[in-house]
Structure 1
């Protein structure tokens, strides 16, 4: 493998405000091979501009590159075995190759490469969008005021409602995914993932939840919508002045299905002051900061904006919380297998088990 920085000529200034990893901390890719491949598709990497890995994120690798005099992002999955259906670059390309035409918050995808020999895994090239990404539970560099929290709460719900209003047929995505039987298929899929990680021996809370999800009646099927499938604050790039969205990123799990799944996914990341410690340790969004609405208010606002009822929200709440716990189990497994040296991953196993416990509380009607 060849280290980043293969063109040591004049360096172009990177976009202002972009968060980059140091060259030493960036994942090494075979950039000369990538450059030759792209040139064969009329995608010329600008000389003297060293690709750099963007900071943040726990899974997919994102590199800022300059191609045909435009800033783009090369995205590929992480190293090691991938869970079924996850980190799907081809799916992301299919969505973003079309969606940008009518949904302004979708960056355009320019190219998909299925040949893993080029960059170590399939990859795609999408437009770079400048914007502030608020990662974790910190609101910096924004002021931690009531107004900031209120604006961000409203922005999240309004943006989700706008996404779910997209006419799939108008962008050629009416055949995306399999919306029929969406809840049951996802339930069985995530239970299977949990069993695979646990080698068939689920913890007691996880087993109880798996049985609950197996027994609960399927929610009533509404009109399918375009789902992001991981809708949360750090997957939205925002204008730091207006706090309005500039782009929604990370579409590798996008599909078509029940809108309540995306709403429940957002709520699964939404911590409240009275939550158990696992939801504080989760630290996925800064909703504990002043001014943020609570989960009930978020759900009610979404219902008011879209006209969708919330009668069937609970099964999706349990499913998406179960899914979240399994995801952290998957990340912890990467730590155990030595596929990542990120110290954060070491505690994800216990976090996952605590999230299963909290999800039992939701299943027992004690909390939204």
Structure 2
């Protein structure tokens, strides 16, 4: 294969390149069997957090991830943690890609990065990819595979796998609520009506959490890679930067916030475009029902988690938007994130009356 011909990639965006020769030398030294020769690099354009590249040397192909450029929030975009988390998770949950190398030497590309195995396949995002059959039955089966994989992840033995070291489950949800409210205020740019009422409601209604599990913390359809020939089969789950050990219903709530459906308000569908809005995919209610059936967990209080998930997503976008406002990124995709934050805040408010 040639990475320059891989669908869904683009030439590296201006200002987001790196010293390919330095990376090639580093990988030749630190990755067993890495081939000599020039390093070919293309970029995955989706995602608004870490920068992700597809790299190739000879027949060896891998994925490189590095933090975004510019000043970053404390403890965010921790490449070492993400790589180490995958090293512990991959042996017990093979849908997590295997990391190949981590580099914290700023002399190589100016910041930390890690490289992991590449798994080719299909990604479902705003629209169906060309040449892939996606009938009604297939959409339902993809939905089922999606929720089954989440249940399997939540069944991983965090203690035996060494993953407990990556989380602090006691008081997890309370910390999340306080932390994301604080993050919003630190990144605030505009006055949005209702924010204080929403954050007050979230702080006052924190439910008790079920037993902690390994959680992805950003589990959504376009973070899954599906088999090209059988898209109902998941090949890999990616983007583990926020994974931890915590409340599994928090993970489910995040999932539901991304899973739009045909009767959602048009502004929400516009800022969260996904193929799940088409007939055949499970509704959010069906996802909740299947999760409860498969996991045996009580999901009676899931609405709180959904409201919080919309707020959390708004904060994530706000943190990106403030970097654009300050001129720390030139990516024009982020210019509209202020309006997206406003839509998500209003949608979360609509759930609490």
Which residue, out of 296, 302, 311, partners 1:322?
311
How many residue pairs are counted as aligned between the two chains?
350
Measured after TM superposition, the shift of residue 182 of structure 1 is 0.7
Closer, same or farther in 2 for the Cα pair 1:36/1:115, shift >3 Å?
Answer: same
* Root-mean-square deviation (Å): 2.2
In the alignment, which residue of structure 1 is the partner of 2:44?
Answer: 54
Equivalent positions of 1:1-368 (< 5 A) are: 13-14=2-3, 17-22=6-11, 27-41=16-30, 44=34, 46-66=36-56, 70-135=60-125, 137-141=126-130, 142-143=132-133, 145-198=135-188, 203-216=192-205, 218-243=206-231, 244-364=233-353
User: Residue deviations 1:217-256, cap 9 Å, x none?
Assistant: x322222111111000111100122221000111111100
- 3-state DSSP of counterpart to 2:281: coil
Between the aligned partners of 1:300 and 1:202, the Cα distance in structure 2 is 37
- 3-state DSSP of counterpart to 1:170: coil
User: Residue deviations 1:86-111, cap 9 Å, x none?
Assistant: 32212211111121112110111122
- 3-state DSSP of counterpart to 1:80: coil
Between the aligned partners of 1:37 and 1:70, the Cα distance in structure 2 is 14
2:31/2:101 contact within 8 Å kept: no
- 3-state DSSP of counterpart to 1:251: coil
Segment of structure 1 superposing worse, 126-135 or 85-94: 85-94
2:318/2:337 contact within 8 Å kept: yes
TM-score (norm 2): 0.91
Between the aligned partners of 2:29 and 2:234, the Cα distance in structure 1 is 35
Closer, same or farther in 2 for the Cα pair 1:46/1:357, shift >3 Å?
Answer: same
- 3-state DSSP of counterpart to 2:159: helix
Between the aligned partners of 1:140 and 1:63, the Cα distance in structure 2 is 20
2:209/2:247 contact within 8 Å kept: yes
Closer, same or farther in 2 for the Cα pair 1:68/1:282, shift >3 Å?
Answer: same
Between the aligned partners of 2:114 and 2:318, the Cα distance in structure 1 is 27
2:9/2:44 contact within 8 Å kept: yes
Q: Structure 2 unaligned runs (5+)?
A: none
Segment of structure 1 superposing worse, 103-112 or 228-237: 103-112
2:27/2:101 contact within 8 Å kept: no
Segment of structure 1 superposing worse, 322-331 or 336-345: 336-345
TM-score (norm 1): 0.88
User: Residue deviations 1:19-41, cap 9 Å, x none?
Assistant: 32125668310222333334443
Q: Structure 1 unaligned runs (5+)?
A: 1-11
Closer, same or farther in 2 for the Cα pair 1:231/1:284, shift >3 Å?
Answer: farther
Closer, same or farther in 2 for the Cα pair 1:211/1:202, shift >3 Å?
Answer: farther
Closer, same or farther in 2 for the Cα pair 1:15/1:341, shift >3 Å?
Answer: closer
Closer, same or farther in 2 for the Cα pair 1:281/1:360, shift >3 Å?
Answer: same
Between the aligned partners of 1:84 and 1:227, the Cα distance in structure 2 is 21
- 3-state DSSP of counterpart to 1:346: helix
1:144/1:289 contact within 8 Å kept: no
User: Residue deviations 1:286-323, cap 9 Å, x none?
Assistant: 11112112111111111111001112312211211100
